[in-house]
Amino acid sequence: MSGPLARFGSARRPDRPVVHPRPAGTDDATVDAVGKVSAAFEVVENARGFLYGFHRMSGEADLALQEALAALRAAGHDELAAEIDEVLVGRDVVPGMWTFQLVEAYDEHYYQVFRAVDALVRDRLSDGRPHVFEAEMKHREQRSGSQPAD
């Protein structure tokens, strides 16, 4: 036998318990709803990562531009370098704000609120347990795998 099962082993783990069991008396609709709030917050986490990436890349671009301006000066193009320096180095990315201020505003006015809402929903409906929906999905899939479509 030389297929993937022989090479990697089975994904099935039927004896494992659910990692984050649902609180007693919690119905499927509640587990699903809490999972949707959690999934929405994960999108916000991803967006926040892109925002931090934008912040870092904008800063790197500014530093790279400053190196380019030094090269222009070294090549005898002082006037052009001075004009670009004046108009672009240190420029706000939006009026009155650098990227670090965008990150701070996003964190304070949106991210922290969304994070608190996610925690509130988990605390009230899942005894604070994270990823109950996903834990049950893992348990189902490792117990029996996927079911063929009809």
Residue 53 domain flag: yes
In a domain? residue 5: no
Residue 66 belongs to a domain? yes
Tell me the pTM.
0.81
Rounded Cα–Cα distance for residues 26 and 100 (Å):
42
In-domain check, residue 144 = no
The reply to whether 60 falls in a domain is yes
Q: How many domains does the chain have?
A: 1
d(CA 48, CA 110): 10
The pLDDT of residue 1: 64
**In Å, how far are 11, 49, 125, 131 from 138, measured between CA atoms?**
10, 26, 20, 10
Secondary structure (3-state) at 56: helix
Residue 137 inside a domain? The answer is: no
pLDDT tens for the 150 residues of the chain, in order:
689 999 999 999 888 888 888 899 999 999 999 999 999 999 999 999 999 999 999 999 999 999 999 999 999 999 999 999 999 999 999 999 999 999 999 999 999 999 999 999 999 999 999 888 898 888 888 888 776 666
Q: Which domain holds residue 68?
A: 39-126
In a domain, 147, yes or no: no
User: Does residue 120 lie within any of the structural domains?
Assistant: yes
- pLDDT at residue 67 in the model: 98
